[in-house]
């Protein structure tokens, strides 16, 4: 992964970090969902749900209703990954991507 100074290239690092954090939180929700009930009061589960619900709700809008909830979560994971790819690709093609400089 090429990196530049984080503050100089915040427009790449910040959205990339947020998307990655959402991706891994949703992955946690999927894994925890195997052993925890959907209406569980577990604080970790509630945190995962609260953070990832906006993404899941947005993905549910463009997913046929035949898809069960866990499939919508998995689809959301792919959407988030594709969003990261799109961000990287957009910045790379516009020349705004942080460039790795060779070490001294």
Interface with other proteins by CB under 8 A: which residues? 1, 16, 20, 61-67, 74-75, 78-79, 81-82, 84-85, 88-89
DSSP string covering 3-42 = ---TTTTHHHHHHHHHHHHHHHHHHHHHHHHHHS-TT---
To the nearest whole angstrom, how small is the minimum distance from the Cβ of residue 53 to other proteins? 18
Q: Based on DSSP, count helices (H) and strands (E) in the chain, helices before strands.
A: 3, 0
Of 44 and 92, which has the nearer Cβ to other proteins?
92
To the nearest whole angstrom, how small is the minimum distance from the Cβ of residue 21 to other proteins? 13
To the nearest whole angstrom, how small is the minimum distance from the Cβ of residue 46 to other proteins? 26
Of 31 and 46, which has the nearer Cβ to other proteins?
31
For the four alpha carbons of 87, 89, 94 and 95, in that order, the dihedral sign comes to positive
**What whole-number distance in Å separates Cα of residue 97 and Cα of residue 91?**
5
Tokens of 13: 């690092």
Of 8 and 82, which has the nearer Cβ to other proteins?
82
Of 49 and 80, which has the nearer Cβ to other proteins?
80
């Amino acid at each position: 992964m090429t990196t530049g100074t984080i503050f100089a290239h915040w427009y790449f690092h910040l959205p990339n970090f947020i998307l990655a954090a959402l991706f891994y939180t949703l992955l946690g929700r999927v894994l925890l969902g195997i052993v925890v009930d959907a209406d569980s009061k577990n604080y970790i589960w509630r945190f995962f749900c609260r953070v990832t619900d906006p993404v899941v709700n947005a993905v549910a809008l463009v997913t046929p209703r035949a898809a069960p909830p866990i499939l919508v979560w998995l689809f959301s994971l792919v959407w988030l990954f594709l969003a990261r790819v799109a961000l990287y690709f957009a910045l790379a093609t516009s020349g705004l991507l942080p460039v790795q400089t060779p070490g001294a």
